Copies of this chain bind each other. A is one copy, B any other.
Amino acid sequence: MARPLSAPASARVAIGLNAVLASVEDQRPKVLCARGPGRLFSLPYGPFDPERHRTFEIGIREWVERQTHVNLGYVEQLYTFGDKGREAPAAELVGGEASDRVVSVGYLALAAEPAAIDDATAAWRDWYDFFPWEDWRRGEPAMLSAVILPGLFAWAAQARDESAAENRRARIRLAFGLDRDGWEEERTLDRFEVMYEAGLVAEATRDRKTASRPLEGTGLEMASDHRRILATAIGRLRGKLKYRPVVFELTPPTFTLLTLQRIVEAIVGFELHKQNFRRSIEQSGLVVRTKASIQQTGGRPAALFRVNRPALTDRAGKGLAIPRLRQAPAFTFPGAEA
């Protein structure tokens, strides 16, 4: 079992740090974007400099905070992306020579509010601009059954043999909740990857040279594999909500329970049962009622709450209950499936 202490020089690669800096504003989940090569949106990216940064996290915090003046409350490593071909498009712009391998470590960071960005090349974007099919707050997104699922089924049908086709169908079922489990909001990445493989998103046609054209309604393209990273981040955040009290990294100092609910809904992408949401939040002990209350437009004034900081560290083990409304009616699988 070889254990070389250092890799051959040929094996050196550059490491980049990608940040998905998320925030919720006005019932919209936002992500900080830059304009990459070819005017594509991209995630803010900074090289990791081993000379200056003792850890990745220090590196990420430093350059994000310096460039955006946003104080990162919460930072979490997402995934390390090292697939070949990630940088292919860039290499081709440069002239077709074999591109340097760039490995990037993706981070998820949360900010309480989308601070003004002083850089004209950067802006906060609603993350559903990139994943319109992920927002079910106003019901099932139309492009799902109109465009995406038909496209996926066609792709499944093109498989070389029946076993491969069944395999593709199973992946579609799982990712899009066509089986008894229904739509699982945290499968964001699975959904994007199936769509990518099926050639339904712009990145797919760009990365391969094949002619399958991306469809309308499959969201905005991003540079490199940034949309995949963003999908990973959304899925991770959606999952994390349930078992860690991370929402409070996104809340203002004081908020009503409905505000809190809207923030959660913006992230998970569907509406919650109001009364049950309050019940579980109040029981959790993660928030405390302040004496103040606030009246929004028409309606009984709402009590203002604030985070119960000590409970946050003590009970870091608990997340929020996500009381769904009636399970969205599962799609029926056209042909071949029940």
Residues of A near any B CB (own CB < 8 A): 1-8, 10-16, 34, 36-37, 42, 44-51, 53-56, 67, 77, 79-80, 82-85, 90, 94, 100-103, 105, 119, 121-122, 167, 170, 173-174, 179, 181, 184, 313-318
Q: A338–B34 Cα gap in the complex (Å)? A: 50
Distance in angstroms between the alpha carbons of A7 and B47 in the assembled complex? 6
A274 to B67, CA, bound (A): 56
**A94: min CB distance to chain B, Å:** 8
Contacting residues, chain B, for A51 (C-beta < 8 A): 10-11
Question: Given A13-B15, A56-B80, A84-B50, is A67 in contact with B317 using a C-beta cutoff of 8 Å?
Answer: no
Chain B residues positioned under 8 Å from A15 (CB to CB): 7, 11, 13, 82, 103
Beyond known contacts A1-B44, A2-B67, A173-B314: 15 more, CB 8 A cutoff? A1-B121, A1-B122, A6-B102, A8-B47, A8-B49, A11-B49, A11-B51, A12-B13, A15-B82, A50-B84, A54-B85, A55-B83, A56-B82, A77-B80, A174-B313
A327 to B100, CA, bound (A): 53
User: Which of B10, B16, B83 is close to A54, meaning CB atoms less than 8 Å apart?
Assistant: B83
Write 21 A-B pairs (CB below 8 A) sorted by A numbering: A1-B34, A1-B121, A2-B46, A3-B42, A5-B94, A7-B48, A7-B49, A7-B102, A8-B49, A11-B49, A11-B50, A12-B13, A13-B50, A15-B103, A54-B83, A55-B82, A77-B80, A80-B105, A174-B317, A179-B315, A181-B318
Known contacts: A13-B12, A55-B84, A184-B317. The answer to whether A3 contacts B174 by CB under 8 A is no
Give the chain B neighbours of A103 by CB distance below 8 A: 15
**A3→B55 contact, CB < 8 A:** no
A1, A44, A77 pick with most chain B CB within 10 angstroms: A1
Q: Which residues of B contact A13 (CB under 8 A)?
A: 12-15, 48, 50
Query: Contacts A13-B12, A122-B1, A181-B315 hold; do A100 and B54 have CB atoms under 8 A apart?
Result: no
Chain B contacts of A44 at CB under 8 A? 1, 3
Known: A174-B317, A313-B170. A79 touches B82 (CB 8 A): no
Q: Which 4 A-B pairs have the closest CB atoms?
A: A7-B47, A50-B101, A7-B14, A12-B12
